[in-house]
Amino acid sequence: MGLRSKGSTMTSQGLQAMRKEDRAYNSEQSGAARRQCKIAVEEPMPDYTPEHARAGISAKLPKLETWPNHFPGYEITIRFPEYTSICPKTGLPDYGTITIHYEPKKVCLELKALKMYLLGYRNLGIFYENAVNRMLRDIVTAVHPAWCRVTGEFTPRGGLFTNVEARWPRRGAR
């Protein structure tokens, strides 16, 4: 009985002959030649610089506005599924979802101003980690919450999912 392969019939003898040819071909290849297999890159990417690392941290963004809170002791969760920014090294766009979770004290974030603030990242060159920590810093400065957590869930790039979480007060802080 033959083996089916892409619409044709192959006998077990034919399959054994193919395997023998493959082994012969592989043995002809030197070990060094197999180890030198590399992806061709026309231009090497520049190394990371201190400018890449600092990119976007102090850029001017729209102001976060607040309004008076009349009911202390509750939590607010805000999700922004349309986050975009630019990788400062490659210039490629980054996409993700930003979640802001906090307990307000005297004031709350005004949502339209928050949306404009988050849209301000759209053309900003900034790394994921810096963006999330900058957002936390700016929100804490504007609202002075009891606590705050900002989470960035970034879409896969090169097969890697990245989640970044920043908290205030920091873990272990007194």
Question: Would you please indicate which residues are annotated as catalytic (active-site) residues?
Answer: 87, 94
Nearest Cα to Cα of residue 161 among 112, 103, 95: 95
Query: CA–CA separation, 163 vs 166, rounded Å?
Result: 10
Query: CA–CA separation, 14 vs 170, rounded Å?
Result: 66
CB environment 69-105: b (16+ within 10 A), e (fewer): beeeeeebebebeebebbbbbeeeebebebbbbbbbe
Query: CA–CA separation, 141 vs 96, rounded Å?
Result: 24
